[in-house]
């Protein structure tokens, strides 16, 4: 892999990733851009013990531009975009409208009881362009190009984990207007959070309680139990296991684990890395076949759950020891032409109601396997 860092006209970092070392990446961003100004802060919810990001500047972000004005396409024919090169393989750059940006700062509270602390919305948000082809999707990539995306995710995880104040790195893709995607070009995002996310905090507590109760690792035991039970397993290869979880929240939801437990992408071994593109591309292609050939592409969210860092960025932190890297892939489409909306029970109380039994979802995902 060749990695070429450069800067955009407003100072944001852009990094090209190429399969071979022969790619030239010397194009200059000549747009007359002002420096990025953000107004992000995080506020603490005392009832839920969670942080919420407040980002007024994001109201002005680009929203469903026509294809000939796509900011993620290469710069061609005199039209400059976020990627100055005339072509690229994988490109990663700092988001122009980030939810989180800048160095960490202290939390303060102006109210007498100290119930409402807030702090700078520190961290970093990046955009990952999977391909220069506007009309493609991740599922259209070759194994070689998907491996390059994995290399980019891994490199960015290492780089962002080293930033001051970063506690957790989340690489994810939103695909489809139904999900809320505002740019049609195939891309994902990476968030570097200044706190451990609520989902991970709950998981860590469950893993610690399981260790105390049984002496075992919760992730290892769940994967082993799913493989032994078998009905919800979608794919089981030499180095990866994919299954619909026993208590899936979404109509079609798959969790993908490497056979050897590791805390994050930087610690995947070569065997798992080599097998990942074929496994992941097959899962994405099956998702597009769930509802039949006449349905539009399946909207989905896909994201890597990685172990958090310690309060001072430590990797040798007790919270990482029991964590297992895994990818979660799900769609909000519950059947042909119908979406799963998060209404009263889900949004109001956090209690999911799934219309598709996980065993049925797993059976369907096995039925639509590539020949």
> Which spans in the chain are helix H?
143-161, 198-214, 218-229, 270-287, 318-321, 349, 358-367
Extract the annotated binding site: 70, 73, 134, 185
Residue 6: burial class (beta carbons within 10 Å; 0-12, 13-18, 19+): middle
SS3 assignment, position 273: helix
Which tokens go with 262? 């590791």
Extract the annotated binding site for Zn(2+): 70, 73, 134, 185
The one catalytic residue in 187, 210, 255, 305 is 187
DSSP 160-219: HHTSTT--EEEEEEEESGGGT----SSEEEEEEESS--HHHHHHHHHHHHHHHHHSS-HH
Cα–Cα distance, 2 to 205 (Å, whole number)? 40
Residue 69: burial class (beta carbons within 10 Å; 0-12, 13-18, 19+): exposed
Residue 70: burial class (beta carbons within 10 Å; 0-12, 13-18, 19+): middle
Cα–Cα distance, 91 to 73 (Å, whole number)? 10
Tell me how many degrees the CA angle 359-325-232 measures, rounded to the nearest 5. 10
Tell me how many degrees the CA angle 199-204-206 measures, rounded to the nearest 5. 95
Active site residue 187: yes
CA distances from 190 to 53, 88, 92, 98, 170 (A): 15, 19, 9, 10, 5
Cα–Cα distance, 14 to 188 (Å, whole number)? 15
Catalytic residues: 187
């Amino acid at each position: 892999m060749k990695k070429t860092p450069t800067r955009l006209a407003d100072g944001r970092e852009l990094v090209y990733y190429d399969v071979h070392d022969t790619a030239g990446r010397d194009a200059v961003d000549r747009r007359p851009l002002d420096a990025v100004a953000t107004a992000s802060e995080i506020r603490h919810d005392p009832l839920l013990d969670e942080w919420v990001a407040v980002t007024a500047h994001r109201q002005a972000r680009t929203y469903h531009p026509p294809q000939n004005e796509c900011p993620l396409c290469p710069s061609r024919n005199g039209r400059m975009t976020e990627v100055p090169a005339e072509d690229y393989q994988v490109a990663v750059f700092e988001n122009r409208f980030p939810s989180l940006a800048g160095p960490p700062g202290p939390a303060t509270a102006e109210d007498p009881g100290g119930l409402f602390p807030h702090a700078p919305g520190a961290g970093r948000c990046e955009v990952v362009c999977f391909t220069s082809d506007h009309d493609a999707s991740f599922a259209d990539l070759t194994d070689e190009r998907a491996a390059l995306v994995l290399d980019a995710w891994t490199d960015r995880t290492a780089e962002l984990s080293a930033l001051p104040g970063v506690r957790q790195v989340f690489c994810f893709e939103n695909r489809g207007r139904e999900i809320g995607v505002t740019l049609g070009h195939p891309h994902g995002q990476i968030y570097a959070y200044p706190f451990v996310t609520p989902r991970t905090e709950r998981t860590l507590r469950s893993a610690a309680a399981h260790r105390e109760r049984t002496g075992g690792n919760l992730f290892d035991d769940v994967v082993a139990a799913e493989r032994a039970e078998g009905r919800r397993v979608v794919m089981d290869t030499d180095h990866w296991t994919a299954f619909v979880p026993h208590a899936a929240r979404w109509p079609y939801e798959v969790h993908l684990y490497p056979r050897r437990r590791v805390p994050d992408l930087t610690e995947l071994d070569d065997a798992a890395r080599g097998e990942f593109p074929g496994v992941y591309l097959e899962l994405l292609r099956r998702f597009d076949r769930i509802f039949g050939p006449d349905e539009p592409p399946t909207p989905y969210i896909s994201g890597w759950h990685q172990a958090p860092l310690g309060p001072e960025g430590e990797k040798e932190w007790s919270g990482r020891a029991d964590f297992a890297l895994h990818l979660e892939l799900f769609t909000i489409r519950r059947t042909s032409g119908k979406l799963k909306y998060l209404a009263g029970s889900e949004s109001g109380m956090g209690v999911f109601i799934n219309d598709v039994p996980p065993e049925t979802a797993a059976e369907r995902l096995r039925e639509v396997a590539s020949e």
